[in-house]
Structure 1
């Protein structure tokens, strides 16, 4: 009887400490599935812009960037699970912790930059945003629809959410004994 109660309490404590790792994994899985869907011609979530998906790389620097992103996808899938799965013990804790924080920072910067860029464009303070690019250069259309604009904002929010989740995964992982 005492064992069952203790076991249930420990399980509850462990689940409270591991949920960010699992939720981060779900987040990155959805992220990757959407990219696969878009690669096969899917359009949901991209708005109705003429050219929402960038073309394949053509220069060496673009190919290098492309493969760095692929590696980040792979690491971003493995790292959150490594914070909660037993096989994660075979990876140095410091590596997992730092990788989670890097994911957090990159995703928050990506989402936050999108919000800031959109703010400056929408208010007219910087007609080309902080990137210096016009809507036509970004989306392929000079005038974009509200649907495209909100799709872009939703993506920025999704990146920002991912950053928060990776930060929580790092925090809980670091504080777990």
Structure 2
């Protein structure tokens, strides 16, 4: 569980820094163009969400995360799993169905979204599994 949550943390931080790069005027991935105002606002929201996702990923495996309600951690992780997984899966499917050549950026970005979805889904699943096993063991020690 720890590896997948730390990988989800790293995924989120890296993606957050990519969005920061774009927010300060970076053009890699925009084919030399700059962002529109609307895309800039979406990008700012993505930065906040990336760092929130990093916090959630760490909270799943750190002792301080036990102070956060389980429902909040799990709901957040599953939402990240579904949104990122759908975004990546749909993007990959669209790229495969296009008649023209797919830009290199999409070949990298779409699987990256899918990877994030998988990491958050695994982290949520393993969080449930670990907590269930811990409760079972604690119940056995109290009853035995």
Q: TM-score, normalised by structure 1?
A: 0.65
Q: Structure 2 stretches of 5 or more lacking a match?
A: 135-144
Q: TM-score, normalised by structure 2?
A: 0.78
Q: For the Cα contact (< 8 Å) 2:2–2:61, is it kept in 1?
A: yes
1:169 aligned partner? 123
Give 2:37's match in structure 1, choosing from 56, 74, 85.
Answer: 56
Provide the alpha-carbon RMSD of the alignment. 2.5
Counterpart Cα distance in 1 of 2:57 and 2:87 = 19
Count of aligned pairs between the two proteins:
131
Larger Rg: 1
User: How far apart are 1:77 and its partner, in Å?
Assistant: 1.8
The answer to whether residue 15 in structure 2 is matched with residue 31 in structure 1 is yes
Q: Select the structure that is richer in helix.
A: 2
Post-superposition, which runs of at least 4 consecutive aligned residues in structure 1 deviate over 6 A?
none
User: How far apart are 1:35 and its partner, in Å?
Assistant: 1.3
Q: For the Cα contact (< 8 Å) 1:18–1:173, is it kept in 2?
A: no
* Structure 2 counterparts to residues 105-120 of structure 1, below 5 A: 105-120=82-97
User: How far apart are 1:116 and its partner, in Å?
Assistant: 1.4
Counterpart Cα distance in 2 of 1:39 and 1:95 = 29
